[in-house]
Amino acid sequence: MTKKSNRAGNPVKIESKTLAREIVCGFHAVGSALRRAPDTVIQLWIDSSRHDARVAKLTVEAQQAGVKFIRTDKSTLDQKSGGQRHQGVLVEIRSPELQDESALYRRLELVKHQPLLLVLDQVQDPHNLGACLRTAEGAGVDAVVLPKDGAAPVNQTVRRVAAGAADRIPVYYVTNLSRCLESLKKMGVWITGAAEEGDSDLYDLNFSGSTAIVMGAEGKGLRRLTREHCDQIARIPMAGAVSSLNVSVATGVILFEVARQRQLSAK
C-alpha cells in the first residue's frame, strides 16, 4: 500500500454477547469448518446409511480436529437442516464473531502486497452473497466489506453456496460504508464502483495497485452516497440486448479482470 495509518494489532470483537449457533450443511461447508475453524464446531452428524469415501474422509478430519460425530438417520438430518440440502452431513457451529471497521484497517496493515478488497453495498440475497464470497476467494481478494445495515448475514445458505469460502476469506461489517471508503482512500486504496452507466469500460482501467471493487445491491445498484465516494465508476461492456448482469456474475467478471491485470503486472 502507498499510505499507512497508525492502526496496528489483531482483529477485535465488536460485541461481547454469547455467540449464536447455526447449522452448516454439505461436504464443502462442513469440511471447511472442520479444517479452518474446528474450535467453533459443536457437533457433527452423519447419515448412518452412508459409508463412502467422502464420509470416511470427513470422519478422519473430525477425529483429527477433536470433534465428536454422531451417526443418525436421514429424517433426523432433514429436521436439523431445516429443509436445506445436507448431502448426509451437517455440523452445529458457534457463529463467528463479527469483525468491524477497525479490524479491517488492522488487517490491511499486515498485508505486504497491494491489497484487493470487495465491497458489497447492501447485497441482500444470501445466494448472491455466497456466490460473491466464493468468487472473491478464488480471485485472491484479501477482505470483503459489508454494511451492517441492509446486507445479508453470513448464514447457513451463504456458507453452502460459498462452498467453504465463507470460512477462508475475512468478512468485515462497517457501520458507515461511505466513511469506510474515505478511510480506505486515505490508506492509498483506489475505489472503483460498478454500474451499467459507468464512465469507463472495465477493460480500459488499470487495477494493478491497491484496489477496492464496490458492487451495488440487486436491482438498486450502488446507493448515491456510495457512488459519490468512489474514485471511478466502471461498466462491463455488453454485446447483446441485456443491459446488466446479476451482481454475483458481474462480481466474477470484474474480479477476474482485476486478478488478470495484477498477475501480469507481477511478472
For 21-94, give the CATH class. Answer: alpha beta
- Could you tell me what percent of the chain has a pLDDT over 70? 91
Cα–Cα dist 19/184, whole Å: 29
Residue 81 and residue 46 in contact, taking contact as beta carbons nearer than 8 Å:
no
CATH superfamily to which 101-266 belongs: SPOUT methyltransferase, trefoil knot domain (3.40.1280.10)
Sheet holding 21-25, edge to edge: 21-25, 89-94, 41-47, 69-72
pLDDT digits (tens, 9 = 90+) for 55-93: 999 999 999 989 999 999 999 999 998 888 899 999 998
38 falls in which pLDDT band (50, 70, 90)? Answer: confident
Cα–Cα dist 2/128, whole Å: 32
What SS3 string covers 178-194? HHHHHHHHHCCCEEEEE
pLDDT digits (tens, 9 = 90+) for 206-238: 999 999 999 999 988 999 999 999 999 999 998
Identify the DSSP state of 175.
S
Average pLDDT over residues 156-178: 87
Give, rounded to a whole angstrom, the gap between the first and last alpha carbons of the chain: 18
Provide the 3-class DSSP secondary structure of residue 84: coil
| Spans of all domains in the chain | 21-94, 101-266
Sheet holding 211-215, edge to edge: 171-174, 143-147, 116-120, 211-215, 190-194, 232-235, 200-201
Average pLDDT over residues 150-174: 86
Rounded to whole angstroms, what are the CA distances from 14 to 116, 168, 191? 23, 20, 25
Domains 21-94 and 101-266 share a fold: no
* Whether residue 178 has pLDDT greater than 90: yes
Cα–Cα dist 223/215, whole Å: 10
pLDDT digits (tens, 9 = 90+) for 17-34: 345 678 888 898 898 888
Beta-bridged to residue 43, according to DSSP, are 92
Measure CA 31 to chain center. 17
Residue 183 and residue 190 in contact, taking contact as beta carbons nearer than 8 Å:
no
pTM of the shown model: 0.76
Average pLDDT over residues 244-251: 92
